[in-house]
Amino acid sequence: MSLGGAQCAPTVLSAEDLHGAQDSAEPRPKIVAMNEAPAPRLHVNCDHVATVRQARHAAFPDPVEWALLAEGAGAQGITVHLRKDRRHIQDHDVLRMRRAIGTLLNLELSLDPEIIAFTLECGADEYCIVPENRQEVTTEGGLDVVSERARLSSLIPRLVETGGAVSLFVDPDEVQLEASAELGAQFVELHTGTYANAAGDEQQRELERLHRAAARGVELGLRVNAGHGLDYQNVKPVAAIEQVEELNIGHSIVARSLMVGAAAAVREMLALVRAARG
């Protein structure tokens, strides 16, 4: 199903369809293509659905089922981060997600050799290489592309060979953008956490940094995404940055879904994202 320049009607799955999609051995046909959906696309991160499950080492809530509900509400992609410590998403979640979802799967990964090996075997539509610190509560900043140049120069071509697009999660810093372009990354995802945690004049300065970085990224031949810490109060100024093609948002949507349900939480965020571009 091609979106062209129009907005996609939500693909609503029945309860039977949901369970069938989760259990299918064959991947679902893609209902959205990376270059067809109107920008900015909303990719919903499902990590913290798994956080709730892992808090009790239970079988539920299931992030795959939640992802399908998000798709049904109009999400144009699903993002998961397979961490070395497996604190939320597990290997089997990624494998099932790969088969079940009908939009794009964006797999976040660190430079850990075990995670890289799994990723190359599993595959994804998009890969976002992120820094990872075992002690962190969540990703604390962008990848230092300059210092990781050697490992990235080896990994990026291997990921590209699988057919997925490669993105580097970076701070809005010109040096990091230039290094990303030199290494052959197709995308960068601008770290919006500093903007999200700021207020007043400081937040405005951080927003201006994001604008400059997005423009510079495009000048360098990169495609630009953004994410981290975005919520219902701060998303619109970032969504309005004309060069940004994709927003990755998770915690705020999962938290909102506890109050209003997954579908309503996604629709509310989509409305804000779309309104930002008029």
Is 138 assigned a ligand-binding role in the annotation? Answer: yes
Angle of the 262-276 helix axis to the 251-260 helix axis, nearest 10? 130
Per-residue pLDDT, 278: 79
**Inside any domain, residue 191:** no
State yes or no: is 228 an active-site residue: yes
- Looking up residue 115, the CATH number of its domain turns out to be 3.20.20.70
Q: Is residue 105, in this structure, part of any structural domain at all?
A: yes
35 is in an annotated binding site: no
Burial class (CB in 10 A: 0-12, 13-18, 19+), 16: exposed
> Which residue among 126, 228, 245, 246 is the active-site one?
228
Q: What is the pTM of this model?
A: 0.88
d(CA 103, CA 114): 26
Distance, in Å, from the CA atom of 30 to the CA atom of 14, rounded to the nearest integer, reads 18
Q: Are 242 and 215 in contact (CB under 8 A)?
A: no
Decide if 132 is catalytic. Answer: no
> Could you tell me if residue 214 is inside a domain?
no
pLDDT at 1: 24
Give the structural domain span for 99: 15-166+227-276
Q: Domain for residue 141, yes or no?
A: yes
- Has residue 199 been placed in a domain? no
Exactly one of 81, 206, 211, 246 is catalytic; which is it? 81
Q: Is the pLDDT of residue 191 over 50?
A: yes
Does a structural domain hold residue 154? yes
Question: Does the annotation mark 242 as catalytic?
Answer: no
Into how many domains does the chain fold?
Answer: 1
Strands (E) in the chain, as ranges, are 41-45, 77-81, 104-109, 126-129, 165-170, 187-191, 223-227, 244-249
Name which of 27-31, 109-113, 148-152, 207-211 the model is least confident about: 27-31
Is 151 among the domain residues? yes
Query: What pLDDT score does 89 carry?
Result: 98
**Separation between Cα atoms, residue 132 and residue 83, nearest integer Å:** 8
The whole-number pLDDT of residue 140 equals 72
DSSP letter at 90 equals: -
Residue 140 within a domain:
yes
Q: Which two tokens stand for residue 234?
A: 């701060």
Q: Please check if 191 is assigned to a binding site.
A: no
Per the residue annotation, which of 65, 71, 108, 206 is the catalytic one?
108
